[in-house]
Amino acid sequence: MCGIVGFFDKTGSGNAPIGKIMLRMLEALCRRGPDSAGVALYGPATNDALVLNVKVGEHGDFREKGLQLAEKIRHFARVHQASVLGEYLRLRLEWDQGVRQLQKQIEALSEGVEVVSLGKQLEIIKQVGSPDALNHTYGIDSFVGHHALGHTRMSTESKVDLSHSQPFWAHGIADLASVHNGHITNYHKLRRQYEQRDIRFYTENDSEIIGVFLADQMEHGMDLKDALKASLRTFDGSYSYLAASANTLAYAKDRFAYKPLVIGETDEFVALATEEVAIRAAFPNETISTREAPANYSHTWSVPQEVAVNY
Amino acid sequence: MKKASIDCRGKTTREINVQIRDFIADHATEIEILSPAARHNLGVATIEPVKMVFDGSVGYFCGGMIDGPEILVRGSAGWGLGETMMGGTIVVEGNAGNGAGAAIRNGTVVVRGHAAARAGISMKGGLLMIGGSVGYMSGFMMQKGTLIVCGDAAEGLADSMYLGTVYIGGKFESLGHDTEVSEPTDEDWKFLRENLSRFELPCDRPFRKIVAGRRLWNFDKKDFDIWKAVL
């Protein structure tokens, strides 16, 4: 059992209080996932620079390790900014080659290093513990932006640590992230197929396959919308999952409708959550009509292209 | 008539349900519950003929196991609306999540909007009426009672039903196994009009009647294909 939440500002203003919204929604669902909490926040685009959140290791002095790592990265990338917060090294840098290449080079620098998120707008922050603790460490309540995903985790199959927490960045595609509630039962079979193609898995968590699958489809020319539809045909088991890219928020639900997902939509925004209580907690004064997402179905909300460019 | 009111803000679900009981013990006949904010298990297992009005959306299992009350929800409801209720009436003005009216034994559940997957699953009696459409596998394994859907139904409508009746006013994506479709009789139309008009739901739809084909009641070698598909 997990809690997943999503928010999308349909006006395209780019200054919705997404940090606060995510926190309120996650706190309402914390009983569905006491193990860990995380958010994927989509802020304004950072010109040509990429923003990376890098996990620097399991133990030790994160600050010292992080700054040492940043020094090594300066040898091959133009780093504008490097800072250590909590367990993460946050980098803003320029890079003109492929995303996978950058990720590989960084992760080869030291054992336990993992690029947790990478993109022009995306920042993933997650840790073991409650949403409240997440805010205490990272101050996410001040974050404004355009759309966001959130997750509270109750682990059933794999271990409880930062790497196994959600959201997952879809390694290989900038700004693509997902959160999942359920169990993808053909995970091992799919994972074997990808590993034969030399694709690295970071966790034993079945939810990781969603990002791997979507990234693979998109690297082969599909857009997110079609990749979601393809996932409905490919994934077995129970799932409601949300995915987001730089300008899109999307959901998909399995053909048996085993897992809940409530949609609350107004002219200004859409809020998605495992339980309606999360939507009511984030928007207590609004009369939002809600509905349950249908079985075997996916849907996307996108910013009109011109708005996305003019951030 | 004695009215009472509860504001849910700042209260736990247990405190709200205890307060509902205290009001009933104090002979309240109508209780308004303000700001329910989609909490779970509201008003469950109430067995007195009291009216409860929830001014907003309710969460999972609202009105579950009740016997006798009249519940009005001025919003939507989560999963398991009125699950295993024994009697009484529940009316939801908005939509309902999965398993609305699941395993009800008696009484009436009305959803004015849409209901999600498995509406009326395993019904053991009573009446479930949906003003809009229903999701996947609605009426699955129902054993008794009546499900009326004014709108459309997704895949597998009334799959493996034992007994009971489903009426559908719109289209269905596919029928479940072992079902038979027929035109409602005059008596059926009378039943439909009576019950739908009681809650101001549309009676003017081209309703069709679905009942069990009864081929799954006993195993027969000639029905092997349908058994293979079901199991």
Query: Which DSSP string corresponds to B115-165?
Result: B-TTTTTT-EEEEEEESS-B-TTTTTT--EEEEEESS-B-SSBTTT--S-E
Residue-range definition of the domain harbouring residue A62: 48-119
A148: tokens are: 């966001």
Cα gap A133→A126, rounded to integer Å: 10
Domain identity same for A17 and A56: no
Is B95's CB within 8 Å of A279's CB?
no
Provide the shortest C-alpha distance from residue A285 to chain B (in Å): 10
* Residue A2 appears among annotated catalytic residues: yes
ipTM beyond cut 0.90: yes
Q: Judge whether residue A307 has pLDDT over 60.
A: no
**Identity (one letter) of the amino acid at A123?**
E
Domain identity same for A84 and A173: no
Q: Judge whether residue A308 has pLDDT over 80.
A: no
Q: How many domains, chain B?
A: 1
Is B37's CB within 8 Å of A296's CB?
no
Residue A311: per-residue pLDDT: 35
The CA-atom distances, in angstroms, between A211 and each of A88, A138, B7, B9, B193 are 21, 24, 43, 39, 51
Domain identity same for A189 and A304: yes
Is B39's CB within 8 Å of A277's CB?
yes
| B179 close contact with A: CB closer than 8 A | no
Give a yes or no: residue B32 inside a domain: no
Q: Where are the alpha helices (DSSP H) in chain B?
A: 13-25, 186-198, 224-230
On chain A, the residues whose CB falls within 8 A of the CB of B113 are 291
Position with higher pLDDT, B198 vs A1: B198
CATH number where A77 lies: 3.30.70.100
In a mutational test of the B interface, the residue from A27, A31, A280 whose CB has the highest number of chain B CBs within 10 Å is A280
Residue A309: per-residue pLDDT: 43
Domain identity same for A55 and A26: no
Is A296's CB within 8 Å of B136's CB?
yes
Domain identity same for A224 and A290: yes
Residue B95: per-residue pLDDT: 98
Q: How many domains, chain A?
A: 2
Is B37's CB within 8 Å of A292's CB?
no
For the stretch A9-53, pLDDT in tens is 999 888 999 999 999 999 999 888 889 999 999 998 777 799 999
Domain identity same for A281 and A167: yes
For the stretch B95-108, pLDDT in tens is 999 999 999 999 99
Residue A157: per-residue pLDDT: 81
Per the prediction, chain B carries an average pLDDT of 96
The domain boundary, picked from A119, A151, A167, lies at A119
CATH number where A36 lies: 3.60.20.10
Of A257, A277, A280, the CB nearest to B135: A257
Q: Among A304, A1, A307, which Cα is nearest to A151's? A: A1
For the whole model, what pTM was predicted? 0.94
The domain boundary, picked from A71, A86, A119, lies at A119
Residue-range definition of the domain harbouring residue B145: 95-230
Domain identity same for A99 and A178: no
Q: How many residue pairs from chains A and B have C-beta atoms closer than 8 A?
A: 71
